[in-house]
Amino acid sequence: MFPSGQTRSYTSAFTIPTSLGAGTYRVDTLVYTADWSQTLLYRNDTTFTAN
């Protein structure tokens, strides 16, 4: 947890399963308050392509 008003950067690794079909996909990111009661940020701008 950290105080509001700060910019933080985190890396997150995920494995693309071999069963994933070819195409373009999007990774969505959600940031919640500490008690999970509110969504502070929702981003859906990270795309990748599976061949």
Residues 2-49: tens digit of each pLDDT: 777 787 777 777 777 888 888 888 877 788 888 889 887 777 777 888
Q: Which domain holds residue 30?
A: 24-51
pLDDT score, position 41: 75
Examine residue 1 and state whether it is found in any structural domain, yes or no.
no
Examine residue 5 and state whether it is found in any structural domain, yes or no.
no
By residue count, the chain amounts to 51
Measured CA angle at 42 (ends 38, 1), to 5 deg = 55
Q: Rounded to whole angstroms, how far apart are CA atoms 49 and 51?
A: 6
How many other C-beta atoms are found inside a 10 Å radius of the C-beta of residue 30?
10
Instruction: Indicate the SS3 state at residue 24.
Output: strand
Examine residue 9 and state whether it is found in any structural domain, yes or no.
no
Q: 16 is written with which tokens?
A: 């693309």
Number of domain units in the chain = 1
Examine residue 12 and state whether it is found in any structural domain, yes or no.
no
pLDDT score, position 1: 67
Examine residue 32 and state whether it is found in any structural domain, yes or no.
yes
Examine residue 7 and state whether it is found in any structural domain, yes or no.
no
Examine residue 34 and state whether it is found in any structural domain, yes or no.
yes
Examine residue 35 and state whether it is found in any structural domain, yes or no.
yes
